[in-house]
Amino acid sequence: MAGNFLVVGLGTFGSRVAQALFESGAYVLAVDQDEERVNAIRESSSKAVCCNATNTEAMKAVGAFDVDTAIVAIRNHFDATVLVTHALRKNGVEHLLVQVDNEQEEEAIHTFGATEVIFPPRDMAVRIARRLIHPDLAESIPLTHDVAMIDIACPTLFVGRSISDLALRTHFGVNLIGIRHPDQGHGGERFTLNPSPDIRLHSEDNLILLGNLGQLAKVKNLSSSRYSSRNGGREESAHPTGVARFGRGHEGSGGLLGP
């Protein structure tokens, strides 16, 4: 199971988050006091409940305090948002994502237990700016204002090399956190989380990378680098940024991604 989630507030944002989580294989408890909204999400959630989320006893009865993560998306009712957020935190829900309507609410809600704040106008503006500055990373998953995770096809110059040999953290400033491989036997794919340093990469692999947006863009654009297989895999002409300088003389020390 991908995780247990509670979504409180089934407006446009809340319902879409609930559906996306459910389609990803997660357990999703969806709560709203609008019966029409609850009925609309029943087929796209594990359990949909019509109740007042500020009623602590009612929330306890439906299992709202048993989830790993809660998303509170109650628009235009900050008093209710505060009560729900406080109750969730008080009853042991550790990861709380809370939607707010302005920056004043954003600052205040942290004091009531929110671990992450969602402010759509600001978040959308930042996302659009990132896409304009780093168009090659449009499909990345932002984690902070300048850090993201991305899934890319294995660059040609990585093929046949081991993770320790590449030393991605040292030479590119990015972390390899997973590899997607085709599963020839079943026609699907396999996923390796935290791959061993001695794994060699193949042309069919997809790499899940975590790092700074600028560094991720450099890795994705490695097709501009020219390598010579005739001189032991050393670079024949350096990458324009100067970061793609690795060869046999820079093998990792055996850590996850090298030194």
Q: Which helix (H) or strand (E) holds 150?
A: strand 147-153
Dihedral sign, CA of 223, 228, 233, 239?
negative
Which pTM value belongs to this model? 0.55
Domain that holds residue 184: 136-250
Three-class SS of residue 113? coil
Residue 39 phi/psi, 5-degree rounding, is -65, -35
pLDDT at site 238: 33
Distance CA(98)–CA(92), nearest Å, equals: 16
pLDDT tens-digit profile, the chain (259 residues): 357 999 999 998 899 999 989 988 889 999 999 999 999 999 999 999 999 999 999 999 999 999 999 999 998 899 999 999 999 999 999 899 999 988 889 889 988 989 988 886 656 655 656 555 655 554 566 666 677 788 888 999 999 999 999 999 899 999 998 898 887 666 677 888 889 999 999 999 989 888 888 888 888 887 334 333 333 343 433 333 333 333 333 333 333 333 3
**Is the same domain home to 190 and 91?**
no
Of the candidates 222, 49, 17, the one whose C-alpha atom is nearest the C-alpha of residue 5 is 17
Q: Please give the helix or strand (H or E) that residue 36 lies within, else none.
A: helix 35-41
Query: Which helix (H) or strand (E) is 252 found in, with range?
Result: none
Q: Which pLDDT score, from 0 to 100, does residue 34 have?
A: 96
Contact predicate 40/48, CB 8 Å: no
Q: How far apart, in whole angstroms, are the C-alpha atoms of residue 191 and residue 205? A: 10
Amino acid 83: pLDDT: 96
The span from the CA of 97 to the CA of 58, in Å, is 21
Assigned domain for 161 exists: yes
Q: How far apart are CA 119 and CA 162, in angstroms?
A: 42
84 domain-assigned: yes
User: Any idea what the CATH number is for the domain that residue 160 is in?
Assistant: 3.30.70.1450
Question: Can you tell me the distance from the alpha carbon of 146 to that of 144, in angstroms, rounded to the nearest whole number?
Answer: 5
**Whether 141 and 245 share a structural domain:** yes
CA distance 38 to 47: 10
Say which CATH number the domain at 76 has: 3.40.50.720
Burial (CB count <10 Å: 0-12, 13-18, 19+), residue 18 = buried
Q: Which segments within 63-144 are labelled E, that is strand?
A: 69-72, 95-99, 116-118, 141-142
Which of 92, 118, 144 is the endpoint of a domain? 118
In contact, 22 and 14? CB cutoff 8 Å: no
- pLDDT at position 122 is 59
Q: Which pairing describes strands 4-8 and 27-32: parallel, antiparallel, or unpaired? A: parallel
Q: Are residues 43 and 69 in the same domain?
A: yes
pLDDT at 254: 33
CA distance 231 to 227: 9
Residue 123 in domain: no
Q: 118, 148, 182 — which closes off a domain?
A: 118
Q: What is the pLDDT of residue 217?
A: 85
